[in-house]
Homo-oligomer: A and B are copies of this chain.
């Protein structure tokens, strides 16, 4: 039932924060200090929302968090602000602090509430192709927690991001297609034929061998990939270990590329992401001699709260 009593005190609620991505939707109820009072999660990522259906999903999320007074402000980050989302929020340029995003916020009227949508960030320095992110900027601002530190953040995933922050502003970043390349090679290339459907085990010797091959592979990634097959043909890589080797190879290559372009020049780097991926990257970074710390799991609601505060959405 929508208005069933909840454990938290709605009187202290100050913000509804959403991370609305491609395949999932996470939502938090936050108080004025950014503390999490309640949370929800669903699989209603933007790809599964039918045309015109965003408002119904949004209202279902709002429903247990209704108040008797004015509706709470609501803010969302992620692919909901892409061309395929609810309302496009064009990219904010680098360099970019949390406070700068207020000029690029998109707004969509949703019944009693407005939803504010955080823009992605573009890095377009000229002389080289541009790069883009959408959602990761919010995680980085959450991890920075209002500080003016210089730091490097690594956000592993389908499209991994290496983000450099200087004095609290995102100054540059680079995307690596590591996760997606792993997935398409495993599922659709000849490499999958000598692999069983095991999981990637970063404590596995084959993962470590793969990381070293990737770190030392230079420009030869397309060759190193074929070695995954020849090692299997020579019975030097088991079907069970194939995925760990391939994952290590790609992560190692990503780290080598980031190191080469000095994207990761503020050690220790801070890892932000799902625990299994963060564990794999931490092992690989250690092999590369790069110290790594792990960010708090709640960086996304923290970032949304920071951006909302900077935009004057709280305590109006």
Query: Given A218-B219, A221-B222, A261-B220, are A236 and B177 also a contact pair (CB < 8 Å)?
Result: no
CB distance from A172 to the nearest CB of B (A): 12
A132 and B222: CB pair below 8 A? no
Interface stretch, picked from A52-60, A70-78, A144-152, A227-235, is A227-235
A177 and B226: CB pair below 8 A? yes
Which chain B residues lie closer than 8 Å to A131 at the CB level?
226-227, 230
A181 and B222: CB pair below 8 A? yes
A132 and B230: CB pair below 8 A? yes
Which chain B residues lie closer than 8 Å to A227 at the CB level?
129-131
CB distance from A169 to the nearest CB of B (A): 21
Which residues of A, 76-111, contact B by the 8 Å Cβ criterion? none
Interface stretch, picked from A35-43, A186-194, A271-279, A298-306, is A186-194
Which residues of A, 19-46, contact B by the 8 Å Cβ criterion? none
Centre residue among A187, A221, A259 by max chain B CB count within 10 A: A221
| Residue A238 CB within 8 A of the other chain | no
CB distance from A133 to the nearest CB of B (A): 10
| Residue A225 CB within 8 A of the other chain | yes
CB distance from A181 to the nearest CB of B (A): 6
CB distance from A217 to the nearest CB of B (A): 7
Which chain B residues lie closer than 8 Å to A230 at the CB level?
129-132, 175
* CA A96 to CA B259, docked complex, whole Å: 39
Interface stretch, picked from A2-10, A61-69, A248-256, is A248-256
A223 and B257: CB pair below 8 A? yes
* CA A102 to CA B252, docked complex, whole Å: 41
B220 and A130: CB pair below 8 A? no
B218 and A260: CB pair below 8 A? yes
A250 and B222: CB pair below 8 A? yes
* CA A220 to CA B180, docked complex, whole Å: 15
B130 and A234: CB pair below 8 A? yes
* CA A231 to CA B175, docked complex, whole Å: 13
* CA A124 to CA B221, docked complex, whole Å: 19
| Residue A297 CB within 8 A of the other chain | no
A174 and B223: CB pair below 8 A? yes
CB distance from A137 to the nearest CB of B (A): 15
A221 and B257: CB pair below 8 A? yes
Residues of A within 8 A of B (CB): 124, 129-132, 159, 174-178, 180-181, 184-185, 187-190, 213, 217-223, 225-227, 230-231, 233-234, 236, 250, 253-254, 256-261
Q: 5 closest pairs, A vs B, by CB?
A: A220-B257, A219-B256, A129-B227, A175-B226, A176-B222
